[in-house]
Amino acid sequence: MSDKIVSVVRGTGSVLPERVMRNQDFVGVVETSDEWIRQRTGIAERHIAGEGETTASLAEGAARRALDAAGLEPADIDLIILATATPDNTFPASAVDVQNRLGISHGFAFDVHAVCSGFLYALTTADMYLRAGQARRALVIGAETFSRILDWEDRTTCVLFGDGAGAVVLEGVPAEESAGKGILVAKLRSDGSHKEKLFVDGGPSTTGTVGHLRMQGREVFKHAVGMITDVIEACFAAAKIGPDDIDWFIPHQANRRIIDASAKKLGIDIDKVVITVDRHGNTSAASIPLALDTAVRDGRVKPGDLVLLEAMGGGFTWGAILLRW
């Protein structure tokens, strides 16, 4: 692999379904309260896909906005990687559907499946293809419709998740033209022994059904902060930097308490943390690119900033990426 190419973000985009579901909307449906949801998770509302809105349609919307932000056309893209655990169909990959929706048939497209860490797995994979010279410009998308795999009678899970999509355009450029920008370090981890703590109880090869999300929330919570901080500290060591060097910390948005505890343990100032869980809920693979696009569009993330991304979720899978904007 050549180290002469670096992967630089050219643009970001995101899409949320129109329908907003507030905590209060759950009251009377399951035994819960706005107060419980806010206190335990930090979530106030989430977006829920309506009829005709699917993972691929949301992904297409996010991709088009990222292309606009980059000043590029679909024809400029030769790789699409879509991170999702809720594809439109068991196969083909929803990435191929997005490719078709964008009106292109050159290059190649595939899905990556690592649940809430999916976007970081997809970004790392795209980075490898670009640095290897196998593609020039990639669309990396995280898109989910978790509302379609929730058990709407299970209060321990149905209040936590939302739908949405986020995307980035990543371009491979010669290091000498990159001005120090691009993906600097990526660390991915997984440990399948935790499968039963967060999984979907169906699938093509087992039940022949789609199934519903099941989570032992307290068990996931117990592992989350340790796994997140370990992999971030590995990133810091690899880049020879510390928490004060970070301009923006953009974590997976599962629970405000996990985000706050991770930032505190790492010594990252809470004012540098991008938080969208209050408005988006947990959108799994879409959560990081949604938060990233929010912070880019509102002017927080600026050229030259050092940005730290982090995720942890089903598998377990977890990881962190450090990049210069």
Question: Which range in 8-16, 32-40, 95-103, 288-296 contacts ligand UT7 by CB under 6 A?
Answer: 32-40
Q: Would you call 106 a catalytic residue per the annotation?
A: no
DSSP 49: -
Catalytic residue (one of 47, 113, 194, 252)? 252
**In the chain, where do the E strands start and end?**
5-15, 19-22, 45-48, 79-83, 108-112, 137-145, 163-174, 182-190, 198-200, 213-215, 248-251, 306-313, 317-324
Q: How far apart are CA 314 and CA 215, in angstroms?
A: 9
Q: In this chain, which of 258, 307, 309, 323 binds ligand UT7, going by CB under 6 A? A: 258
Contact 186, 309 (CB under 8 A): no
Task: Return the closest-CA partner of residue 318 out of 236, 233, 224, 182.
Answer: 224
Nearer to ligand UT7, 94 or 317 (CB): 317
Size of the site for ligand UT7 (CB under 6 A): 19
* Residue from the set 19, 40, 136, 189 that interacts with ligand UT7 by CB under 6 A: 40
41 binds ligand UT7 (CB under 6 A): yes
Please list every residue from 184 through 223 that binds ligand UT7, using CB under 6 A.
217-218, 220-221
Applying CB under 6 A, which part among 54-62, 123-131, 155-163, 243-251 lies near ligand UT7?
Answer: 155-163
Smallest separation (angstroms) from ligand UT7 to the CB of 244: 26
- What is the footprint of ligand UT7 within residues 75-134 (CB under 6 A)? 116
293, 58 Cβ separation under 8 angstroms: no
**CA trace torsion 181, 282, 119, 231 (10° rounding):** 70
Is 282 in the active site?
Answer: yes
Which residue number places its CB atom closest to ligand UT7? 217
Residue 159 sits in the site that holds ligand UT7 (CB under 6 A): yes
DSSP 194-229: GGGGEEES--TTTTSS---EEE-HHHHHHHHHHHHH
Catalog residues that contact ligand UT7 under the rule CB under 6 A.
32, 36-37, 40-41, 116, 155-156, 159, 217-218, 220-221, 224, 254-255, 258, 282, 313
Q: Which active-site residues does the annotation give?
A: 116, 252, 282
